[in-house]
Structure 1
């Protein structure tokens, strides 16, 4: 039975896609722009052309946290009527980068339905440690109205430059666990106030295998990216903070996904991998480093594409990294002359992790051989630390055998925090908090002594823990 309130909600949903037809010749940047993979001489600009200026309004009520899944959600309703939906549209985009003494403009380039109307442009020839203002222009065709979106970023300094650096890191953000009905996620606004040099998102950016909808095909999987990227807090943050994204299981298929996983409905691992490259710009291989001046280098590892089947017996040949990445990781860390080194891992290395039902990361017994090697190796490297994603609680852990320190950011919202008893302090724990938030890492020199500071924040931007190492 349809009551008046439900009928009103359906009328809104059905009418929203029709409103912008008055200006059908116009395109919009509803999903914002991202400035990613920034180095001292290059950057990657990403955007998507959209049909409407705003996403479809949220109209479903939700269950209680954690995992505030929508109530009575119809997975088979038209995607363009789903909460947060943002339809793409054909058109062309032009990028202009401006510094104090130079203006660089690309040619107009068309976007394609086959790539979900996204555009990825690699910009080379940039100057180190330089502020660039970004202007994106979009239009339907040559004589159409032009829509604009602006942003800015600063390139990395050279590897010889001694300079302070600060970056934020976050993980695990389910669309329906938003904590601000207007802005989306409060943590993004809190991180933006810190004005970090760059941001690392360590995976579970979206959740294909959680309702609202369950992403059983390519169209539904793409919808997850459209909806979360349209939150104003994300649009504002990513248009002005250089970012580096890593994938984890929920971004690539379903819980504990590997290349051997069965399809999720009609969505295959290969399909999801193609969508990832469509929605997340890269400039080379998925394992890479961030070098930011003399004192900091960050390793971004890939934890899904090259891994063994989680369920086979542990041994020397069972790996999360794969042979090529493992060799690269060891060689590049040993050859680095950075003062501080950080492994950015989408999954835990130290833990402790839940024992029941977990078998897909280096802190689990299922990968004990490679996990033991990794902890021993990292602990032998001077000033080397781990920052991990995937866990929905914040912690600082010190491996009891090697002394390796690991910092877990926690989920992006309190509504998404769960999975550990807050009273269950283990010998490894230096800090434990089962709430949402993010991590801010700063590297600087005091009296010419290199110093690194790890600060955990809550979602409102309040410091809840700090560890300083000189």
Structure 2
């Protein structure tokens, strides 16, 4: 490609080739030319963190939110010492700006610069606007595979204002036919008030970070709109829950170096067991929930997608709320959680894959077992027809497994009719673990633990044969169970 063609390409992509000193990666600010406008904030902060998401071998989406305060509001309320740790005497009607964990946003401009080896990619300046809760998503599409990128975030309140800097790093995925070991981590179900470290938030995030994973999958219930402190009965309160969660230091530090793929479930949208025609939760509608999700989850295109990480691993992330039938309908072949378009995409993409190992990441269980009273997932009788179809289909695929969210306990289970294996990561903290009797070990269970933590998954080759290993960890990062399979 000649120089003129390259300039034209990067201009169309919104990127430019530049170079800068490594000293610029230090967090700092400087006075540019021009005078500060009246009313412009004295500083901009990245208090709710920066994320890299949807990473492929050649692309990624970067996310951040501009903030007007360096630290979130302090936690002033005590908690009940029961499951979920609800705050005591919390005023649900106070202004959000005074709530525990609140982080005020601020308008401004953001750009990101990626540096690897001898090349540098720089985005245009993107506006952080109040109608999007001051969040910004910056896509890059010309990255190199299996490459470590240093990130330089820059923010300014006006086009000629002070510039403030943050940094991070991530690695892109290897190309589809590259043999490369992969380490990933996954977790689910985190309620702000169930924190287990009053300074850093959640031990699990620090424990996952110590494994230096290639990437992270969150399988849903990132926040809990229908739990107090506050109950998210308005869009403003719903957004607050994201601000408070993402400003925990353990999450901020984790996402600085770990790419993420985020799935959503009912509590991220509205309330328990939600579906598109569910009634509003106070003033919060299902459509409000979708908008707020898109503000906070870096995502391009459909909410169902698949990603390849080298020769030996492909993952499918599916959507379980936007296309589902009402849970209350009688079961039938037409009753669905996924919807017909997603089902067609799924079977088509699975059958086109030549990856050694395949993992379906589902926000809800496919195998279970689940509680008899539940009616919103494929392990329940309420969706038995589609659940039976899905388990049969998955079991016919070589080396395919299910990893699910939603359940507040760790487990490994096998579907007796088909032999399909499912791994539940469990909730992010012990305070959130509940809903199953730890003594009720059923024949489907290969492992059961009603505690919090996370699931680590490693794919590596031992000579010519790839092996996949699933390890459950407690919140402190201690292994508590392991399952390993050599490729068939």
Normalised TM-score (structure 2): 0.91
Q: Which residue of 2 aligns with 1:153?
A: 170
Q: Which residue of 1 aligns with 2:328?
A: 311
Count of matched residue positions in the alignment of Structure 1 and Structure 2: 449
Q: Which residue of 1 aligns with 2:453?
A: 437
Q: Which residue of 2 aligns with 1:218?
A: 235
In the alignment, structure 1 residue 420 sits paired with structure 2 residue 444: no
Pick one of 449, 468, 480 that aligns with 1:452.
468
Pick one of 293, 318, 333 that aligns with 2:350.
333
Once the two structures are superposed, residues 105-127 of structure 1 have per-residue CA deviations (whole angstroms, 9 ceiling, x without a partner) of 22222210000000001111000
8 Å CA contact 2:40–2:157 kept in 1: the answer is: no
Once the two structures are superposed, residues 238-272 of structure 1 have per-residue CA deviations (whole angstroms, 9 ceiling, x without a partner) of 12101000000000100000001000000000011
Q: Which residue of 2 aligns with 1:28?
A: 45
Aligned-residue offset at 1:142? 4.0
In the alignment, structure 1 residue 144 sits paired with structure 2 residue 161: yes
Q: Which residue of 2 aligns with 1:396?
A: 412
Q: Which moved more, 1:94-103 or 1:377-386?
A: 94-103
Pick one of 223, 242, 261 that aligns with 2:278.
261
Aligned-residue offset at 1:382? 0.3
Q: Secondary structure at the match of 2:337?
A: coil
Normalised TM-score (structure 1): 0.94
Q: Which residue of 1 aligns with 2:152?
A: 135
Once the two structures are superposed, residues 322-374 of structure 1 have per-residue CA deviations (whole angstroms, 9 ceiling, x without a partner) of 00001111111111100000000000000000112x10000000000000000
Pick one of 113, 117, 128 that aligns with 1:111.
128
8 Å CA contact 1:26–1:144 kept in 2: the answer is: no
Q: Secondary structure at the match of 2:72?
A: coil
Aligned-residue offset at 1:65? 2.7
Q: Secondary structure at the match of 2:253?
A: helix
Q: Which residue of 1 aligns with 2:291?
A: 274
8 Å CA contact 1:65–1:177 kept in 2: the answer is: no
Q: Which moved more, 1:376-385 or 1:327-336?
A: 327-336
In the alignment, structure 1 residue 410 sits paired with structure 2 residue 422: no
Q: Secondary structure at the match of 1:221?
A: helix
8 Å CA contact 1:99–1:131 kept in 2: the answer is: yes
8 Å CA contact 1:166–1:443 kept in 2: the answer is: yes
Q: Which residue of 1 aligns with 2:400?
A: 384
Q: Which residue of 1 aligns with 2:15?
A: none
Aligned-residue offset at 1:449? 0.8
Q: Which residue of 1 aligns with 2:387?
A: 371
Q: Which residue of 2 aligns with 1:10?
A: none
RMSD, aligned CA: 1.2
Distance 2:82 2:197 in 1: 14
Aligned-residue offset at 1:140? 1.2
Aligned-residue offset at 1:436? 0.1
Pick one of 152, 174, 194 that aligns with 2:211.
194
Structure 1, unaligned runs of 5 or more: 1-20
Distance 1:22 1:181 in 2: 35
Q: Which residue of 2 aligns with 1:293?
A: 310
Aligned-residue offset at 1:23? 9.3
Distance 2:369 2:259 in 1: 31
8 Å CA contact 2:123–2:138 kept in 1: the answer is: no
In the alignment, structure 1 residue 95 sits paired with structure 2 residue 95: no
Compared CA separation, residues 23 and 63, structure 1 to 2 (3 A) = farther
8 Å CA contact 1:55–1:84 kept in 2: the answer is: yes
Distance 1:72 1:464 in 2: 37
